[in-house]
Structure 1
Amino acid sequence: MTTTPTTPIVLDPTGARTHDEHLRLRAHGPAVRVDVLGVTAWSVTDPGLLKELLRSPQVSKDARAHWPGLAEAEGTWPLALWVTVNNMFTAFGADHRRLRRMIAPAFSARRVAALRDDITAIVTGLLDDLAALPAEDPVDLRESFAYPLPIAVICRLMGVPVEQARGFRGLVDGVFDTTLTAAESAANTAALYEALGDLIATRRTTPGDDMTSLLIATRDEEGDGGSLSEAELRDTLLLMISAGYETTVNVIDQAVAQTLAHPEQLARVRSGEAGWDDVVEETLRLEPAIKHLPLRFAVTDIELPDGQVIAAGEAILPSYAAANRHPGRHGDTADDFDVTRPDKEHLAFGHGVHFCLGAPLARLEVATALRMLFERFPRIELAVPAAELEPYGSLISNGHRSLPVRLRR
């Protein structure tokens, strides 16, 4: 029997004890009210219910149209950018379809396949750099491997010049940092928009064969009455650059950590019982890159299976990490890392019309990185016990502060 808390459960902005928190959320049924840095929302942790809501026309991502709480949150909530951007991430209905159609070509099967050789070359260069380091000294693999690969790939796809790419990293990190104050978050947003403005100016002057140049050309050819406004152009670049690398960093980080912490699973890969694609999918299930994703909004009253009602206008927080480990879906082994698990179904890339367009690219990057890393350094090991790896300070982003390993060539 589940109980309903009298007050919302306050989510820890530091993400210090993520899995304990998810157990607490699930103990209250398929959905429960939570406090997300001062904003009340319904955390949905049951995978069946979550999939139903993610594909329901009764649920919107357009805060301006469907969230009465936006006016108050916009000036005071540290995560306001997550619900106020003008791109397909927050679009609803026809607007979402219009924007998704414009971005989809960047992640077509042909374009992703064309990046395969680039990804291999980037990974080779990073591994060469690692091989040049002292063999027994600990190396932070998150900093020296998990970060630079996705940054290089997304910057190549988007046409971000090298000198501008360096500045984006810290600013995008700030978008995912839920320990910032509202003022700090606003300052980070202002700096990020300035950087995006510089990128747009650069590609308007010197266009190339990249998605940024294509979007700018579409915008400039069609003008103000066309299919893409200037604000949508800017915020679409923000979405593609930030989502395109921050999440992939976390998956590489978590996949390496889980594989090294479970040598019996690594042995299964090396024996051929499982493949690196299996490692990627089980990592996405067990430790998805995004734990909670702010926010969606009820367009109408929605009755839940336990009789509770999400009222029209209330916020909904998809809690992907808790849903992925739900024992009702994966049984008693839901918390185990098992690369041979027959059913690795997960919601790491979302579900429904907002399913992540970049999923095939992310999967390719992570699988390539893992295969080449473990081939190049077959004796690689964690430099600290797995239990001592510190979580990244965020209730959204799911990674580690660092990933110290010994390469042991």
Structure 2
Amino acid sequence: MSHTAAQDAHRLDPTGADPHTVNARLREHGPAAHVVLPGEVPAVAVTGYEELRDFLTNPHVAKDACHFAALRDGRIPEGWPLTTFATVRGMTTADGAEHRRLRGLVTKAFTARRVEALRPRVEELAGELLDGLPSAVGADGYEGAVDLRRHFAYPLPMRVICELLGVDPALHDRLHTLSERVVSTAVEPERVVAANREVLAILASVVEDRRASPGDDLTSAMLAVREEDGDRLGEEEIVGTLLLMIVAGHETTLNLVTNAVRALCAHPDQRELVGSGAATWSDVVEETLRHDGPVSFFPFRYPTADLTIGGTHVPAGTPVLAGYTGAGRDPRAYGPDADRFDITRRPAVRHLSFGHGAHYCIGAPLARLEAATALGALFRRYPGLALAVPDAQLPPHPSFVGNSTRVLPVTLGPPAA
């Protein structure tokens, strides 16, 4: 980074506070801007819709950390909180044929038909969780209220993804806690290292359990492929794939449901549109993904040659963040009212919250199904649901990667007759 660029660079807040204000500030420097990551690591964030879409499919951009110049040259501090994003073995850090090989192993589990077959189970789990909400009122210190994030938005996708992978329910809470630490950008380095070590050990034990007792789950299927062709999938790749699927398979849907509930509580007119049939729960999900998506700045991609993105020079080997929440409110793509939550919006361009190109989120159909099912069931059961504290007072999820709040206390109101 040049001296001028370093002076202009925005230091990203590790706590993830107020991402939309951050995005607006970055846009003042253009659709791509120099930023400073924790540990004084220089990077670039792309928040312009068109620039991000083009960057995600640029043939001179890679995901493999061998292209990360600072990491390759030993300039990344030990225990750096974003190391896992760069170094975990799996689809998110693979390119070309290797990426296609790894992605192909799990693609069949997320086809539209296979996902639709999960609908009855998702509906069943949502109903069970809603049944338990009244007994959780007051359990987290909120008088007359329940933390909807903890007791509904989190366990639903966690149970679904762990059932798909054959993970023991006894491990769910610990895996969630460790996942949050691994993706946090505000946790002390030693805790990140410890969390990463523990979660990999747990997932290695899951692999061993499934090897000893194969079942009708995706982990067993991946192991069967390895037995048939030992060179096709290594042990580290299986564990890395499990880590990716558990973290991405529940954290993003958890944030999506949380953000959608917040938006609907803040915009009762939009809520009424769904109730009247003028809009659908799928419309709510898509507008939430655009307006306040579950991922803010996703690490990393690396130019394999010097690039210019929206007028910003990006040297080869620079870690680049995909600014999904910024692209979602880019007024050049969504007009002067891009900051407005409008579930009847029919934009000319589709949001990028699930990515674009070869690395498009493989679990997008499942996330959409889970979120629409959860929201529909929730508001049908509790039509008077409301935030128990003002939205502005909700503490942010401590990460500039994930975008949501740490808690979501709500008053349920009387259940529907």
TM-score, structure 2 as length reference: 0.93
Q: Which letter maps to 2:25?
A: R
Task: Name the residue aligned to 1:59.
Answer: 61
Partner-residue secondary structure (3-state), 2:82: coil
Partner-residue secondary structure (3-state), 1:69: helix
Task: Name the residue aligned to 2:273.
Answer: 268
Task: Specify which of 189, 195, 217 is matched with residue 182 of structure 1.
Answer: 189
| Structure 2 counterparts to residues 86-125 of structure 1, below 5 A | 86-125=89-128
Q: Which letter maps to 2:302?
A: F
Partner-residue secondary structure (3-state), 2:69: coil
1:149 paired with 2:150, answer no
Greater Cα offset, 198-207 or 386-395: 386-395
Greater Cα offset, 355-364 or 340-349: 340-349
TM-fit CA distance, 1:5: 6.5
Task: Name the residue aligned to 1:12.
Answer: 13
| Distance (whole Å) between structure 1 residues aligned to residue 261 and residue 309 of structure 2 | 38
Task: Name the residue aligned to 2:169.
Answer: 162
| Distance (whole Å) between structure 1 residues aligned to residue 268 and residue 171 of structure 2 | 40
| Structure 2 counterparts to residues 8-407 of structure 1, below 5 A | 8-37=9-38, 38-64=40-66, 66-70=67-71, 71-73=74-76, 75-132=78-135, 137-223=144-230, 226-306=231-311, 308-343=312-347, 345-407=350-412
| Distance (whole Å) between structure 2 residues aligned to residue 21 and residue 304 of structure 1 | 19
Distance 1:88 1:133, change over 3 A: closer
> Displaced runs of 4+ in structure 1, greater than 3 A?
131-136
| Distance (whole Å) between structure 1 residues aligned to residue 283 and residue 380 of structure 2 | 17
Partner-residue secondary structure (3-state), 1:312: coil
8 Å Cα contact 1:67/1:297 also seen in 2: yes
8 Å Cα contact 1:58/1:300 also seen in 2: yes
Q: Which runs of 5+ in 1 are unaligned?
A: none
Deviation per CA, 1:197-240, whole angstroms, max 9, x where unpaired? 111111111111000111111123322xx211111111011111
Report the RMSD for the aligned CA atoms in angstroms: 1.6
8 Å Cα contact 1:379/1:407 also seen in 2: yes
Partner-residue secondary structure (3-state), 1:89: helix
Distance 1:351 1:54, change over 3 A: same
| Distance (whole Å) between structure 1 residues aligned to residue 90 and residue 389 of structure 2 | 41
TM-fit CA distance, 1:387: 2.1
TM-fit CA distance, 1:74: 6.6
| Distance (whole Å) between structure 2 residues aligned to residue 305 and residue 337 of structure 1 | 27
Q: Which letter maps to 1:322?
A: G
| Distance (whole Å) between structure 1 residues aligned to residue 310 and residue 390 of structure 2 | 42
| Distance (whole Å) between structure 2 residues aligned to residue 203 and residue 238 of structure 1 | 15
8 Å Cα contact 1:86/1:231 also seen in 2: yes
Partner-residue secondary structure (3-state), 1:294: strand
| Distance (whole Å) between structure 2 residues aligned to residue 266 and residue 213 of structure 1 | 42
TM-fit CA distance, 1:345: 2.4
TM-fit CA distance, 1:244: 0.4
8 Å Cα contact 1:43/1:316 also seen in 2: yes
Distance 1:242 1:118, change over 3 A: same
Distance 1:103 1:74, change over 3 A: farther
Greater Cα offset, 352-361 or 9-18: 9-18
Q: Which letter maps to 2:338?
A: A
| Distance (whole Å) between structure 1 residues aligned to residue 65 and residue 146 of structure 2 | 43
Deviation per CA, 1:7-31, whole angstroms, max 9, x where unpaired? 4210000012222111110100111
| Distance (whole Å) between structure 2 residues aligned to residue 5 and residue 167 of structure 1 | 39
Greater Cα offset, 279-288 or 158-167: 158-167
8 Å Cα contact 1:51/1:351 also seen in 2: yes
Partner-residue secondary structure (3-state), 1:178: coil
| Distance (whole Å) between structure 1 residues aligned to residue 350 and residue 54 of structure 2 | 15
8 Å Cα contact 1:302/1:312 also seen in 2: yes
Deviation per CA, 1:262-294, whole angstroms, max 9, x where unpaired? 101101111111111010001001111110011
Q: Which letter maps to 2:48?
A: D
Q: Which letter maps to 2:68?
A: W
Matched-pair identity in %: 45
Count of residues in correspondence between the two structures = 403
| Distance (whole Å) between structure 2 residues aligned to residue 382 and residue 5 of structure 1 | 41
Partner-residue secondary structure (3-state), 1:333: coil
Partner-residue secondary structure (3-state), 1:137: coil
Q: Which letter maps to 2:306?
A: D
8 Å Cα contact 1:62/1:90 also seen in 2: yes
| Distance (whole Å) between structure 1 residues aligned to residue 282 and residue 100 of structure 2 | 30
8 Å Cα contact 1:142/1:403 also seen in 2: yes
TM-fit CA distance, 1:391: 1.3
Partner-residue secondary structure (3-state), 1:52: helix
Q: Which letter maps to 1:43?
A: A
